[in-house]
Amino acid sequence: MQSEDSETVATSGQASSECTELIRKRLRGKVVASLSPQPTAPLLAPLLAQWSAGSGQGADQLACLLGVTGDTLNQLALMRLPRATHFDTDSEIIATYLGCDSQQLLAFLRQLQELHTLS
């Protein structure tokens, strides 16, 4: 009986992982499609650098703050700032794609949006 329970847990964990990966693959196209029509929007990399310089925190601290790996932070750096008219939706799509907390990312992207507006 215990063996069957272990197999069920392992199978459901695998199914959950496969489902998450499928969602990420589907969102990958949506992220590109939703964020690419704004050629004047900056990549996040210079805004991340500006935030880092102003806060005195490096990439490791930022990755920790957002709950992501360094590789995931690099992926974020190569994305564009979410569209102002769809900021929350775009932020949610990015968070799902990156696999990070959407509320933390939304709050952080709003800080970057302010930096962009002020610069």
- Is 45 inside a domain boundary? yes
Write out the two tokens for 73. 């932070």
Say how many domains are in the chain.
Answer: 1
> What domain range is 87 assigned to?
28-118
Distance CA 37, CA 25 (A): 20
Tell me: the pLDDT tens digits for 38-90? 556 678 998 899 888 889 999 999 999 999 999 999 999 999 989 889 999 99
- Is 104 inside a domain boundary? yes
Residues belonging to the chain: 119
- Is 109 inside a domain boundary? yes
- Is 43 inside a domain boundary? yes
- Is 108 inside a domain boundary? yes
- Is 10 inside a domain boundary? no
Report in angstroms the alpha-carbon separations of 118 from 39, 50, 107, 111: 19, 11, 17, 11
- Is 84 inside a domain boundary? yes
Tell me: the pLDDT tens digits for 8-18? 444 455 656 66
Please, is 108 exposed, middle or buried when counting C-beta atoms within 10 Å of its C-beta (0-12, 13-18, 19+)?
buried
- Is 85 inside a domain boundary? yes
SS3 for 11-65 is HHHHHHHHHHHHHHHHHHHHHHHHHCCCCCCCEHHHHHHHHHHHHCCCHHHHHHH
